[in-house]
Amino acid sequence: MVLDVSLNLIKPERTYQIFEALVGIARCDPAFYVKRYDFVLGVYYIGGAPNGGRWSTLIKALIDTPRQITITALEASQIPSAPGHNATIRATGGGFTWRVENTSESIVYVDVTDADGKHYLMPDTTMTKTVYMPLPLILLHELSHVYHDDVLRDSPTEILAREKQVRNDDNAFRAELTLPSIHPAGDVPVQHGTPTLGDLTFPACGSKKPRNPWRDCKKCAIATAALGSPVTRQIAAFRSAKRHFQEITLGSAPILAPMMNSYRLFSPRVADAVSTDPALRDSMRHYGVQAAVHLVKLVQALPTAASEPDEVVGRIERSLGAYATDLAAAMPIMGLGEAAEAALSASRQLARRSELPPISTRPPSCNPFASIVNSIQSSGADPEGPAWILEGLGMYMRHAVDWHHDAPGAARRLMFAAGSWLATVPLPRDAVLSEHLRRELNLIRAELLFDVIARKLLMRRLIDHWPDSAVLRAVLETGDFLSSDDASRSVSSCQPI
In terms of domains, do 185 and 257 share one? Answer: no
Q: Is 199 inside any structural domain? A: no
Q: Are 134 and 38 contained in the same domain? A: yes
CA–CA separation, 347 vs 426, rounded Å? 13
Query: Within a domain: residue 414?
Result: yes
What does the pLDDT look like over 312-361, one tens digit per residue? 999 999 999 889 887 876 666 578 899 999 999 999 999 874 444 444 44
- Same domain? For 355 and 487 the reply is yes
Q: What's the pLDDT tens digit per position in 430-445?
A: 899 998 999 999 999 9
Q: Is residue 275 part of a domain?
A: yes
Cβ burial of 380 (10 Å; 0-12, 13-18, 19+) is exposed
Domain around 45: 3-192
151 domain-assigned: yes
Query: What gap in Å lies between CA 32 and CA 210, rounded to an integer?
Result: 11
The model's confidence at residue 311, banded by pLDDT at 50, 70 and 90, is very high
Looking from the CA of 202 toward its CB, the CA atoms found within 13 Å total 22
pLDDT over threshold 70, residue 7: no
Q: Helices 470-478 and 452-465 meet at what angle, rounded to 10?
A: 160
Residue 34 shares a structural domain with residue 115: yes
Same domain, 104 and 219: no
- Which of the listed residues 128, 163, 192 is the one where a domain comes to its end? 192
Which DSSP state fits 427?
P
The alpha helices in 380-450, defined as continuous H runs, are 384-404, 410-422, 437-447
* Beta strands across the sheet bearing 130-132: 130-132, 120-123, 191-192
Whether residue 290 lies inside any domain: the answer is yes
> In the predicted model, what is the mean pLDDT of residues 93-112?
92
Q: What percent of the chain has a predicted confidence (pLDDT) above 70?
A: 83
| 129 and 11 inside one domain | yes
Give yes or no: residues 462 and 368 share one domain.
yes
Contact 302, 419 (CB under 8 A): yes
Asked if the structure places residue 154 within a domain, the reply is yes
Beta-sheet pairing, 41-45 with 32-36: antiparallel
Strand partners, 121: 132, 191
Q: How far is CA 238 from the centre of its chain?
A: 10
**223 and 77 co-located in one domain:** no
DSSP codes of every residue in 132-190: E--HHHHHHHHHHHHIIIIII----SSHHHHHHHHHHHHHHHHHHTTPPPBP--TTPPP
Tabulate helix, strand, coil % of the chain (nearest 5): 55, 10, 40
For residue 200, is it within any domain? no
Task: Name which of 227, 406, 389, 400 is nearest 322 in CA terms.
Answer: 400
* Tally of domains within the chain: 2
DSSP H or E stretch at residue 19:
helix 12-27
What pLDDT digit, counting tens, does each position of 25-51 carry? 888 887 776 655 434 455 666 655 555
What is the helix (H) or strand (E) element at residue 270, kind and residue range? helix 257-276
Taking CA atoms, 490 is separated from 263, 307, 450, in Å, by 38, 9, 12
pLDDT for the residue 162: 94
223 and 174, same domain (yes or no): no
Residue 139 CA to residue 471 CA, distance in Å, equals: 65
Higher-scoring residue by pLDDT: 415, 102: 415
Give pLDDT, residue 16: 76
Q: Are residues 181 and 225 in the same domain?
A: no
Q: Do 158 and 9 lie in a common domain? A: yes
Q: Which of 235, 256, 228 shows the shortest CA–CA distance to 244?
A: 256
pLDDT digits (tens, 9 = 90+) for 8-27: 545 666 777 888 888 888 88
Q: What's the pLDDT score for residue 29?
A: 82
The rounded Cα 58 to chain-centroid distance in angstroms is: 21
In a domain, 107, yes or no: yes
This prediction's pTM: 0.57
Judge if 173 and 225 occupy the same domain.
Answer: no
Helix/strand/coil for 109? strand
